[in-house]
């Protein structure tokens, strides 16, 4: 018998109107089938009272927006009769630099709609039938906990702890106890799990830092740009990606208004940052930043505009004389520019123009302007590095800062993303002791390889750390506050094909409060609370020269049968016999008290729990004014060496040269390579391949104002304000008979997306952009009508970081007739 569940109206124990009754029908044959038990409900009605026409609240509760945009904006939730009736922004601070009111953006202000979303998961669910087949059955919490504990024990006993995997995701990144930390703590208490390095946002630049600066060193703060003559932003778009009123958006706007610092934005897309804060937009073909920089530095060297004294004193490998011992002849960057390296091509502006699409005359003008500005603040966002050869793009932008001598000085910078002042709130411990029990790690991005054939993954082929090779593949996954299993991972079809075979990854538990595309591929799905239904001490943003912390209070009782992550993990720990070790005898509130105590030991002026509950937000300002990165190194490089082998800035990396001789790139990755210098490398599905491909348009995936990755993508108001669409240049649109608002198909060999055209000169010719994060929604023909860009993206980890090349793909676009 086939059992089908539909969704209707019901009255739940919360007292809020819910659409949730089950309409049953039966048909002969088949297996048990249920649609997901989600809450098909409307927003709770709010009765207007008082002269203002607004509902009067019983109380106002502090909490925060915790999805991963970095800003962590405080929110004030007004509650009446157990229902959130309004969400208000921060009411502290001012409009003065360094003390901004931390105003939440449209996403943060939409939390009420998210709390009462029709996509809220009501009860634990268990799949029946084929994984991904959409057949579900409601189960009790007891059955869910028993099953998960049993599967964890079975997998550990059969394969060992390295077969356990905690999946990458950022849906709760801003929290502390409410962060995804509770589940890693459970797994570590149970003996550990296969670790991960890097993240989907910054894997390539994270891998690039050690080979230039020895470690991650952020640049000068954006506030420091007030002391610059020129600001140059490579793919840096704070006015859209960091929209907090207390973060980078406010700082950029204030610097623009008060100091009128000239700003050049180099980006394939005319972003809001370019439009509002920029003076000059340089539209560049995606993935070609290293070529543009080589062309500019060629001009600087040819015309004597570079800072040779800085290069001689602080850097390794720009000239033959500063190469490390044993480096091959003509392996310096100057030799690369002159065409004396292995490729034999002189890196003239004409050469760069052919690759980048930026005219040679403009490259010369840019070179002269950037070299002449003393000082110049050169920064990069995460866009340039999120490409197939993103590590080299990131290193090339570091190089430009060095060649112009802007490192370590006020108004300058080291070419990385802007730095900030942080408030070191104590973090909820993911493990006890000095290190996690399992030391083996793989990239957060190439988990799909570890499912398909884990024992074939090695250090030199796949970047495995802590071991020469894996002994076992991933057999059990915990997917918490993450839509990365499907929606946010390249090439959805490859992922689905892998996950459908449950003899590979044998058990998947998904924990979320919204039924996402990822939930469809779990074996058990657990309904979690939002952070507004539990308590926390929230570490605030690391944005600019002001850090903050927020009091996380419980606004409402958990809706339906949702539970907190700490409750879930405590119950599972009890079944595994490790409850005492996991909880250390503390409730969640007692853990929060402990976090306050530990934080106050490091920061004596940090408020008590009672004080922060009254304040809502605690601010801490940079004690020395705007951040100047690497100032100590600039002042005395001998006394303050970098953590590179040479102690200096390494333009040529001997370590990368040696790795290039050993690392393997088999099969379709045979074109990948590591380079000792930050060279331009023509990538798969890059600018040059586009000229001869049946898919001639380079597709990028910009971050969108209505979403933080895929969070908030299901909210009607966000979709109304920021509908999904493909940005396409008028030249490319005319050639295809496409007009603004036409329905279009975006396709390649991997898949097809149906969306709407936004014909605009704000995107470079030959480039289209489909905003990332839209939820995957295939129709009966397999065409994605949700607009998820990963329907089109290729699964092909980057060479060094094994990271996410989320801006590298070729597509064709056609009008729907």
pLDDT at 14 over 80: no
List the structure tokens of 320.
């033959």
Tell which CATH architecture fits domain 121-201+428-531+565-579.
3-Layer(aba) Sandwich (3.40)
Mean pLDDT of 87-102: 87
pLDDT at 32 over 50: no
Q: Smallest Cα–Cα separation from 76: which of 567, 551, 541?
A: 551
| 106 prior amide bond cis, ω within 30 | no
> Higher-confidence residue: 479 or 41?
479
Q: How far apart are CA 724 and CA 770, in angstroms?
A: 8
**Beta partners for residue 538, in sequence order:** 550
pLDDT at 72 over 70: yes
Q: How far apart are CA 238 and CA 249, in angstroms?
A: 6
Q: Smallest Cα–Cα separation from 480: which of 167, 774, 196, 123?
A: 167
Q: What is the CB neighbour count within 10 angstroms for residue 432?
A: 13
Q: What is the pLDDT of residues 142-157, one digit of tens each?
A: 999 999 999 999 999 9
Q: What is the pLDDT of residues 232-247, one digit of tens each?
A: 999 999 999 888 766 7
Q: What are phi and psi of 647, to 5 degrees?
A: 80, 0
Q: Could you give the dihedral angle defined by the CA atoms of residues 81, 83, 86 and 87, in that order, rounded to the nearest 10 degrees?
A: 130
Helix (H) or strand (E) holding 480: strand 476-480
Mean pLDDT of 161-183: 90
| Predicted local distance difference test score (pLDDT) of residue 47 | 52
Q: Smallest Cα–Cα separation from 8: which of 42, 54, 53?
A: 42
Q: Smallest Cα–Cα separation from 111: which of 81, 73, 82?
A: 73
Across 58-156, where does the E strand assignment appear?
A: 59-64, 74-80, 83-89, 120-121, 125-127, 136-138
Q: Smallest Cα–Cα separation from 75: which of 773, 657, 555?
A: 555
Q: What is the pLDDT of residues 370-406, one digit of tens each?
A: 999 999 999 999 999 999 999 999 999 999 999 999 9
Q: Smallest Cα–Cα separation from 466: which of 192, 152, 180?
A: 192
pLDDT confidence of 101, banded at 50, 70, 90? confident
Specify the 3-state DSSP secondary structure of 593. helix
Mean pLDDT of 86-100: 87
| 375 prior amide bond cis, ω within 30 | yes
Q: What are the respective helix, strand and coil percentages of the chain, to the nearest 5?
A: 30, 20, 50
Q: Which residues contact 121 (CB under 8 A, 6 or more apart)?
A: 36, 37, 38, 39, 512, 513, 514, 515, 519, 525, 526, 527, 528, 560, 562
Q: Which residues contact 91 (CB under 8 A, 6 or more apart)?
A: 76, 101, 616
Q: How far apart are CA 814 and CA 136, in angstroms?
A: 37
Q: What is the CATH number of domain 219-419+633-669?
A: 3.40.228.10
Tell which CATH architecture fits domain 687-815.
Beta Barrel (2.40)
Q: Smallest Cα–Cα separation from 295: which of 372, 382, 400?
A: 400
Specify the 3-state DSSP secondary structure of 697. strand
> Higher-confidence residue: 75 or 56?
75
Q: b/e map of 743-778 (b: 16 or more CB within 10 Å)? A: ebbbbbebbbbbbebbbbebbbbbbbbbbbbbbbeb
Segments of the chain assigned to CATH 3.40.228.10:
219-419+633-669
Q: Which residues contact 590 (CB under 8 A, 6 or more apart)?
A: none
Q: How far apart are CA 814 and CA 744, in angstroms?
A: 6
Segments of the chain assigned to CATH 2.40.40.20:
687-815
| Predicted local distance difference test score (pLDDT) of residue 40 | 57
What does pLDDT average to over the chain?
A: 92
Q: What is the pLDDT of residues 731-765, one digit of tens each?
A: 999 999 999 999 999 999 999 999 999 999 999 99
Assess contact for 515 and 36: CB atoms under 8 A: yes
CA 85 from centre of chain = 31
List the structure tokens of 226.
């007030």
List the structure tokens of 180.
């995804």
Q: How far apart are CA 686 and CA 389, in angstroms?
A: 10
Segments of the chain assigned to CATH 3.40.50.740:
121-201+428-531+565-579
Q: Smallest Cα–Cα separation from 492: which of 753, 165, 757?
A: 753
Q: How far apart are CA 661 and CA 675, in angstroms?
A: 10
pLDDT at 33 over 80: no
Q: How far apart are CA 760 and CA 413, in angstroms?
A: 33
| Predicted local distance difference test score (pLDDT) of residue 374 | 96
Q: What percent of the chain has pLDDT over 90?
A: 84
> Higher-confidence residue: 104 or 463?
463
> Higher-confidence residue: 38 or 602?
602
Give the angle subtended at the CA of 517 by the CAs of 512 and 519, to the nearest 5°: 45
Helix axes 289-302, 349-356, angle to 10 degrees: 160
Specify the 3-state DSSP secondary structure of 349. helix
What's 492-559 look like in SS3? HHHHHHHHHCCCCCCEEEEEECECCCCHHHCCEEEEECCHHHCCEEEEEEEECCEEEEEEECCCCCCC
Mean pLDDT of 51-64: 79
Q: What is the pLDDT of residues 253-290, one digit of tens each?
A: 989 999 999 999 999 999 999 999 999 999 999 999 99
Q: What is the largest CA-CA distance in the chain?
A: 83
Q: Tokens 């040779």 belong to which residue?
A: 308
Q: Which residues contact 273 (CB under 8 A, 6 or more apart)?
A: 233, 236, 237, 238, 239, 240, 252, 265
Q: What is the pLDDT of residues 305-331, one digit of tens each?
A: 999 999 999 999 999 999 999 999 999
């Amino acid at each position: 018998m086939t059992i089908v569940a539909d969704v209707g109206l019901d009255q739940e124990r919360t007292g809020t109107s819910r659409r949730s009754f089950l309409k049953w029908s039966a048909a002969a044959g088949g297996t048990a089938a249920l649609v997901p038990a989600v809450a098909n409900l409307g927003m709770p009605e709010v009765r207007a009272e008082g002269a203002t026409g607004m509902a009067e609240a019983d109380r106002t509760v502090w909490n925060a927006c915790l999805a991963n945009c970095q800003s962590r904006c405080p929110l004030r939730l007004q509650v009446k009769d157990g229902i959130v009736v309004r969400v208000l922004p921060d009411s502290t601070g001012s409009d003065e630099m360094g003390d901004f009111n931390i105003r939440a953006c449209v996403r943060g202000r939409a939390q009420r709609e998210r709390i009462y979303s029709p996509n809220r998961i009501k009860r634990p669910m268990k799949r029946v039938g084929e994984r991904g087949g959409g057949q579900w059955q409601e189960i009790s919490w007891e059955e869910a906990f028993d099953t998960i504990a049993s599967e964890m024990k079975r997998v550990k006993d059969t394969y060992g702890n390295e077969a356990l995997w905690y999946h990458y995701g950022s849906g709760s990144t801003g929290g502390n106890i409410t962060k995804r930390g509770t589940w890693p703590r459970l797994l570590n208490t149970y003996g550990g799990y296969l670790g991960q390095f890097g993240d989907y946002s910054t894997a390539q630049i994270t891998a690039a830092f050690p080979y230039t600066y020895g470690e991650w060193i952020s640049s000068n703060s954006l506030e420091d740009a007030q002391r610059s003559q020129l600001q140059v932003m490579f793919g840096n778009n704070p006015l859209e990606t960091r929209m907090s009123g207390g973060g980078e958006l406010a700082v950029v706007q204030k610097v623009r208004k008060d100091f009128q610092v000239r700003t050049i934005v180099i980006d394939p897309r005319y972003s809001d940052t370019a439009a509002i804060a920029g003076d000059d937009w340089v539209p560049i073909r995606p993935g070609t930043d290293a070529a543009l920089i080589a062309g500019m530095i060629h001009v600087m060297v040819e015309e004597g505009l570079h800072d040779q004294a800085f290069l001689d004193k602080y850097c390794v490998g720009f000239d033959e004389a500063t190469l490390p011992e044993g480096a091959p002849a003509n392996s310096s960057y100057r030799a690369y520019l002159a065409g004396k390296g292995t490729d034999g091509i002189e890196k003239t502006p004409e050469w760069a123009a052919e690759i980048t699409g930026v005219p040679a005359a403009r490259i010369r003008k840019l070179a002269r302007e950037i070299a002449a500005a003393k000082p110049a603040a050169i920064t990069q966002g995460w866009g340039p590095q999120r490409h197939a050869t993103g590590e080299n793009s990131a290193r090339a932008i570091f190089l430009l800062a060095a060649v112009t001598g802007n490192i370590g000085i006020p108004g300058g910078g080291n070419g990385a993303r802007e730095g900030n002042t942080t408030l070191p709130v104590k973090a909820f411990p993911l493990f006890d002791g000095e290190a996690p029990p399992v030391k083996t790690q793989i990239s957060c991005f190439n988990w799909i390889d570890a499912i398909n054939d884990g024992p074939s993954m090695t250090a030199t082929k796949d970047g495995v750390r802590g071991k020469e090779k894996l002994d076992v593949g991933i057999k059990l996954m915990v997917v918490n506050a993450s839509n990365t299993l499907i929606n946010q991972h390249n090439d959805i079809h490859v992922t689905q094909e892998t996950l459908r075979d449950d003899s590979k990854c044998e058990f998947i538990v998904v924990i979320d409060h919204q039924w996402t595309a990822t939930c469809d591929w779990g074996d058990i799905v657990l309904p979690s609370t939002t952070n507004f239904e539990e308590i926390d001490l929230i570490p605030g943003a690391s944005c600019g020269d002001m850090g903050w912390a927020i009091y996380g209070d419980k606004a409402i009782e958990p809706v339906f049968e949702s539970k907190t992550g700490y409750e879930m993990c405590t119950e599972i720990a009890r079944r595994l016999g490790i409850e005492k070790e996991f909880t250390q005898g503390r409730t969640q509130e007692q853990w929060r008290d402990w976090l306050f105590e530990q934080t106050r030991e490091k920061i004596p002026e940090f408020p008590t729990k009672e004080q922060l509950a009254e304040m809502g937000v605690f601010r801490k300002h940079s004690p020395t004014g705007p951040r100047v990165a690497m100032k100590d190194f600039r002042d005395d490089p001998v006394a303050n060496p970098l953590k590179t082998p040479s102690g200096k800035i390494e333009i040529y990396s001997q370590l990368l040269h040696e790795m290039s001789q050993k690392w393997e790139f088999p099969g379709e990755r045979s074109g990948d390579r590591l380079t000792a210098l930050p060279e331009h490398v023509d990538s798969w599905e890059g600018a040059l391949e586009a000229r001869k491909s049946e898919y001639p348009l380079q597709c990028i995936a910009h971050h969108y104002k209505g979403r933080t990755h895929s969070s908030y993508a299901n909210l009607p108001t966000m979709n109304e304000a920021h509908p999904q669409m493909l940005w396409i240049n008028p030249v490319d649109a005319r050639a295809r008979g496409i007009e603004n608002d036409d329905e279009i198909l975006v396709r390649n060999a991997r898949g097809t997306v149906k969306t709407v055209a936004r014909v605009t000169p704000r995107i470079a010719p030959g480039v289209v952009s489909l905003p990332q994060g839209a939820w995957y929604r295939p129709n009966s023909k397999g065409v994605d009508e949700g607009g998820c860009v990963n329907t089109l993206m290729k699964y092909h980890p980057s060479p060094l970081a094994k990271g996410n090349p989320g801006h590298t793909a070729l597509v064709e676009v056609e009008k729907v007739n």
